[in-house]
Structure 1
Amino acid sequence: MEYKKFKVELLRRFVDNKANETELDGLHRLMGKGDMDDELSIVMAEVWERELHSEHILRQKIRKLHANKWRWIAAAAVLVMIGTYFIIPYSSNQESISPSEEFSKSTVILPGKNTAVITMANGKSIQLSSDESGIVIGNNGLNYNDGSKVADKIDHSAGSVASISTPRGGTYQVTLSDGSKVQLNAASSITFSTNYDGLPERTIQLNGEAYFEVAKRINQPFIVITKNQSVRVLGTHFNISAYANDHYSLTTLIEGSIKINDKLLRPNEQAQQSDGHITIRQVNAEDAVDWKNGEFNARNESLENLMKKVSRWYNVDVYYENSALKEKTFSGSLSRYAKVDDLLNALKFYGINTRLDKRQIYITN
């Protein structure tokens, strides 16, 4: 058999869960060499035709494959929904985890999607299309990212403000009138001016979580106000998580520099604000924007924090039969585009037992 065909067939056997231990060992070695680009693309295309229903999921997985070579095997498993959706290093003696019987009978809970409502200065609210990923506030009206119209006219007068909010299970991007981009996470909202020209500052109010790419204007700083802090920038990329039901706010800098109250933040630093105190620590900034990249990343993260993210994204409520479980910590990477029952099976791999009842998740360990 031709070598390329051999590798394709090996991948097919893997995604169909038919590969034996010898074949898995060989596949592991080939993946480690980065010698499977073409073959993986072929099998991914086959899987797309057979299994997947969302082009967005495919784009997310393709991006991850090129960005994280060592995760290829797990990503292939994700594509056919036979893995745990945790991205973990391959081990040939690792036991497979099959979906539990209780999940197979549960309501199918899908991940979040693009959905938001914008409220204009005159009080008019517009439900934004789930087929679009974002909107642009422009002089010629309000448009979607692809140029199609949302509204022909918007109020650009001085002091005119608008707001956009996402529900639980929603995300949306906003390009402000100055060219700055804001990606809203689930259950979040921003209030902003529809025209920053002539104003001394570009002020925006945030409740929830958002990722900012701020257009540089040297003489017009960009200020984000949350429940307990003020973040001042000129032009940079950063993430703020400031949900009302969290005990603290997290501000993480990706590039540039920002000032939080009177403290300066540098790239790969994170400021935690709690009870009027700010603590700064070194982090991997990419972990803070995992949600924007279609992932849940955890590094010694508490179960409580992770499940808050799950609750917001999947629009579910989470209950603990033992409150001590909230403090359990673990590390891993999890796709935000898994169905919730697949996600819970992934948690089971880490010893976290759950029960799903309609839109309620019970942690039962």
Structure 2
Amino acid sequence: MNKDRLSQLFELQVSQGATEAERNELRGLMALQEHEEQLKVLLAELWDKYTAEELVFSAEESAAMLKRVFEVVAGTAQGLPARPERGKLLSLWPRWRLGVGVAAAVATIVFGIWFFSPSRHSGAGRNLVLAGSDIAPGKSGATITLANGQVIQLDSTKQGVIVGDALKYDDGEILKQVQEDDRLSSKAQMLTATTAKGQTYKFTLPDGTHVYLNADSKIIFPAQFSGKERKILLEGEAYFLVVHNEKQPFRVESKEPGGGKQTVEDIGTTFNINAYADEGIVKTTLVEGVAAVYADLSSSSRTSAAAKQAPIILKPSQQSSLSGGQLEVRRVNTEDVLAWKDGQFRFNNTPLSEILRQIGRWYNLEIVYEDREAGKRTFTGVIRRDSRLSEILRVFEKGGIQFRVADPRKAGGAKRLIVM
């Protein structure tokens, strides 16, 4: 009976018709020793449906994918249920060793792990968008607003700006838009660095700290750090490589959607903060060093217990989450958290709704749901951020998700991605 059920669930998964409960049941049956021979047959049959000409991954990409597949299948990926061991999979299916490209493609179907490289998808996804309306990925870009209100549009062909006595690009070119009487060393002034949706930029602060700003984000900081602390305000997401100074602590303040705020203090630190308002939670991930995270509720909702809450000291690969004034800590894969900075989307059993919020910021899209249940589907995998929108949508279409892109002219000029 179990063998019949294994075949039935396997076919449902291959056709992308399995529910989450059925996928979990399938993984449990696949892990049983008694199903080894049957699983060999099922995998071999699926393998034979693929040819080398159909592969869309290079050998290097496929090998990396398989490594990730085995991590997920073995249950080593954070937060996933236990699954068949890597060694068992290799013994079940020796063809893994013979054609990693095919093996990776088949694994994406069997285990629901999706990976994508745009280089061989030049015609992909044309049915998903209106003719002539495909959307290019985001790119380098930002603005700096001076204390006098002057807004400087930064060069999109550059990668970053250095803030010192003057503003200059990281290749040494001076920004001529800053007038002599507005020289940054002449008076204390607050600067605002902003990225719009579809933009990212690097800023080097006056103390030498590097800040990588993700799309739809903002930092407010002084042109010169002259006080007892180096304090900046963050909205959105940023990655910090802090120059440590024990006599002048570096602190990043961000707001919690519930009305409170969070302060992160470096103790010789590299960290990432995700504080987008629409995420409903503030996540701080430590990459190197040590950092102290403080939660401070708004006065309207402050409780004596929260007021006395001690800071959390983060260690590398730990992530704090602030919600409702409460801080919690867990271990995470920092490669997943920092993927945006490295030109990737990386997902680990992530709900589609969270994935689409990231995609919406990078492609400047409003996400609209006709099917709310679709947003609960989870995906694991890697997609390059330099892919066009149609190429990315094709990946999720393989997972049974349907989209359409609204004509901007009929949507008041806004680009809308509609989940059907």
Q: Same fold (TM over 0.5)?
A: yes
Matched, 1:79 2:104: no
1:208-357 equivalence runs, <5 A = 208-227=236-255, 228-261=261-294, 262-357=311-406
Q: Which residue is equivalent to 1:188? A: 217
Give the 3 Å change call, closer, same or farther, for CA 322–194 of structure 1 in structure 2: same
Structure 2: distance between partners of 1:289 and 1:31: 19
Q: Secondary structure at the match of 1:273?
A: strand
Coordinate RMSD, CA, aligned: 2.8
Q: Which residue is equivalent to 2:41? A: none
Q: Which residue is equivalent to 1:146? A: 171
In structure 2, give the amino acid aligned to 1:234: I
Contact in 2 for aligned 1:254/1:286 (Cα 8 Å): no
Q: Shift of the alpha carbon at 1:329?
A: 1.0
Q: Shift of the alpha carbon at 1:82?
A: 4.7
Contact in 2 for aligned 1:307/1:318 (Cα 8 Å): yes
Give the 3 Å change call, closer, same or farther, for CA 363–159 of structure 1 in structure 2: same
Structure 2: distance between partners of 1:267 and 1:343: 32
Give the 3 Å change call, closer, same or farther, for CA 286–132 of structure 1 in structure 2: same
Q: Which has the larger radius of gyration?
A: 2
Give the 3 Å change call, closer, same or farther, for CA 99–192 of structure 1 in structure 2: same
Give the 3 Å change call, closer, same or farther, for CA 247–143 of structure 1 in structure 2: same
Q: Which residue is equivalent to 1:161? A: 190
Contact in 1 for aligned 2:290/2:316 (Cα 8 Å): yes
Give the 3 Å change call, closer, same or farther, for CA 282–325 of structure 1 in structure 2: same
Contact in 2 for aligned 1:115/1:129 (Cα 8 Å): yes
* CA deviation vs aligned residue, 1:210-250 (integer Å, no higher than 9, x gap): 00000121211110000020001132111001012221011
When normalised by structure 1's length, the TM-score is 0.74
Structure 1: distance between partners of 2:286 and 2:361: 23
Structure 1: distance between partners of 2:136 and 2:197: 12
Give the 3 Å change call, closer, same or farther, for CA 126–303 of structure 1 in structure 2: same
Give the 3 Å change call, closer, same or farther, for CA 28–290 of structure 1 in structure 2: closer
Q: Shift of the alpha carbon at 1:101?
A: 2.7
Q: Which residue is equivalent to 2:37? A: none
Structure 1: distance between partners of 2:264 and 2:402: 40
Q: Shift of the alpha carbon at 1:76?
A: 10
Q: Shift of the alpha carbon at 1:343?
A: 0.7
Q: Which residue is equivalent to 1:105? A: 131
Matched, 1:199 2:227: yes
Contact in 2 for aligned 1:290/1:296 (Cα 8 Å): yes
Q: Secondary structure at the match of 1:129?
A: coil
Matched, 1:363 2:413: no
Structure 2: distance between partners of 1:341 and 1:164: 31
Q: Secondary structure at the match of 2:227?
A: coil
Give the 3 Å change call, closer, same or farther, for CA 247–24 of structure 1 in structure 2: closer
In structure 1, give the amino acid aligned to 2:206: S
Contact in 1 for aligned 2:116/2:395 (Cα 8 Å): no
* CA deviation vs aligned residue, 1:245-272 (integer Å, no higher than 9, x gap): 2210111111111010110011001111
Q: Shift of the alpha carbon at 1:30?
A: 9.2
* CA deviation vs aligned residue, 1:26-73 (integer Å, no higher than 9, x gap): x98898899xxxxxxxxxxxxxxxxxxxxxxxxxxxxxxxxxxx89x9
Matched, 1:118 2:158: no
Contact in 1 for aligned 2:291/2:314 (Cα 8 Å): yes
When normalised by structure 2's length, the TM-score is 0.65
* CA deviation vs aligned residue, 1:160-185 (integer Å, no higher than 9, x gap): 21111011111111000000000100
1:169-188 equivalence runs, <5 A = 169-188=198-217
Structure 2: distance between partners of 1:323 and 1:103: 21
Q: Secondary structure at the match of 2:394?
A: helix
Structure 2: distance between partners of 1:23 and 1:128: 44
Give the 3 Å change call, closer, same or farther, for CA 32–79 of structure 1 in structure 2: closer
Q: Shift of the alpha carbon at 1:186?
A: 0.6
In structure 2, give the amino acid aligned to 1:203: K
Contact in 2 for aligned 1:106/1:356 (Cα 8 Å): no
Contact in 1 for aligned 2:116/2:382 (Cα 8 Å): no
Give the 3 Å change call, closer, same or farther, for CA 175–333 of structure 1 in structure 2: same
Give the 3 Å change call, closer, same or farther, for CA 252–222 of structure 1 in structure 2: same
Give the 3 Å change call, closer, same or farther, for CA 337–29 of structure 1 in structure 2: closer
Give the 3 Å change call, closer, same or farther, for CA 31–313 of structure 1 in structure 2: closer
Q: Shift of the alpha carbon at 1:79?
A: 2.4
